[in-house]
């Protein structure tokens, strides 16, 4: 079975002052390896720009920090930001079942910070690249974020094929069996274009 994601994102300790949390975009893009923290879709295949999700949602922050100045500072807290595709960010929105700022999940309901290894323990992929939940909590997250959407599998295929194309093209410059490699590359390119066409439907 393919792993859910090959690299777990890791936020750096970034404490520099910014006027708006969106100024953290490039740092988040780097720390999340150009991928959505929730579904692991790489950003190069999405038509919509990736967004910045507040892991603990804004409405919960506002509830616990009613003073505007404190709330504004909490909005910019890098440790609470997630690089996210529009699909996952839109699905998550204000969902926060615990209602508590320091309790992310309880009774197999709620969320896990995608920078924690515990997040990966909730999911795996089947042979078609679809995201499958492994636990009761994972099942709740899977439904809440709509991780069943077909585009996640399509983007996974595109990413896998693209990596193989890159590796094959490197071999074409060094190997003597160029004809065989070129045939393999042609097949990969055909698959790549097929999945890319499918993705345009979403």
Residues 86-109: pLDDT tens digits?
999 999 999 999 999 999 999 999
3-state secondary structure of 129: coil
- Confidence at 187, pLDDT banded by 50, 70, 90: confident
For residue 52, give the DSSP letter. Answer: E
pLDDT band at residue 182 using 50, 70 and 90 as cut-offs: confident
Confidence category of residue 173, pLDDT binned at 50, 70, 90: low
In this predicted structure, what is the pLDDT of residue 174?
A: 61
Contact 59, 94 (CB under 8 A): yes
Strand, coil or helix: 13: coil
Has residue 2 got a pLDDT over 90?
no
Distance (Å) of CA 135 to CA 107, 115, 194: 12, 18, 33
Q: Is 93 helix (H, G, I), strand (E, B) or coil?
A: coil
Q: Where is pLDDT greater, at 84 or 194?
A: 84
pLDDT (0 to 100) of residue 172: 67
Instruction: Please give the C-alpha separations between residue 138 and each of 78, 110, 134, in angstroms, as whole numbers.
Output: 25, 9, 6
Q: Tokens 């636990």 correspond to what residue?
A: 135
Report pLDDT for 175: 60
Residue with tokens 């309790």: 103
When pLDDT is cut at 50, 70 and 90, the band that residue 195 belongs to is confident
| Residue-level pLDDT at 93 | 93
pLDDT tens digits, 115-152: 999 999 999 999 989 999 999 999 999 999 999 999 99
Question: How far apart are the C-alpha atoms of 10 and 27, rounded to whole Å?
Answer: 11
Q: Look at the block and give the residue holding tokens 């720009």.
A: 49
Q: Residue 165: what pLDDT? A: 79
The one-character DSSP state at 98 is T
Q: Say if CB 68 and CB 74 are below 8 A apart.
A: no
Across residues 152-156, what is the average pLDDT?
A: 93
pLDDT at 186 exceeding the cut of 80: no
Inform me whether the pLDDT recorded for 43 exceeds 70.
yes
pLDDT band at 176 (very low <50, low <70, confident <90, very high): low
C-alpha–C-alpha distance, residues 58 and 36, integer Å: 19
Query: What proportion of the chain, given as a percentage, has pLDDT over 90?
Result: 70
């Amino acid at each position: 079975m393919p792993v859910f994601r090959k690299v777990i994102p890791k936020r750096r300790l970034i404490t520099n002052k910014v006027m708006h949390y969106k100024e953290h975009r490039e740092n988040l893009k780097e720390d999340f390896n150009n991928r959505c923290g929730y579904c692991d879709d790489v950003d190069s295949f999405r038509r919509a720009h990736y967004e910045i999700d507040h892991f603990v949602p804004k409405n919960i922050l506002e509830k616990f920090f009613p003073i505007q100045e404190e709330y504004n500072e909490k909005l910019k807290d890098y440790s609470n930001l997630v690089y996210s595709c529009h699909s996952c960010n839109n699905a998550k929105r204000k969902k926060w079942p615990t209602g508590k700022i320091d309790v992310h999940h309880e009774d197999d309901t709620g969320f896990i910070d995608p920078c924690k290894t515990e997040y990966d323990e909730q999911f795996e992929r089947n042979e078609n690249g679809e995201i499958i939940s492994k636990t009761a909590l994972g099942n709740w997250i899977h439904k809440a974020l709509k991780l069943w959407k077909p585009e996640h599998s399509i983007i996974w295929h595109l990413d896998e094929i693209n990596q193989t194309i890159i590796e094959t093209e490197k071999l074409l410059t060094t190997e003597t069996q160029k004809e065989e490699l070129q045939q393999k590359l042609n097949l990969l390119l055909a698959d790549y274009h097929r999945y890319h066409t499918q993705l345009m439907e979403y």
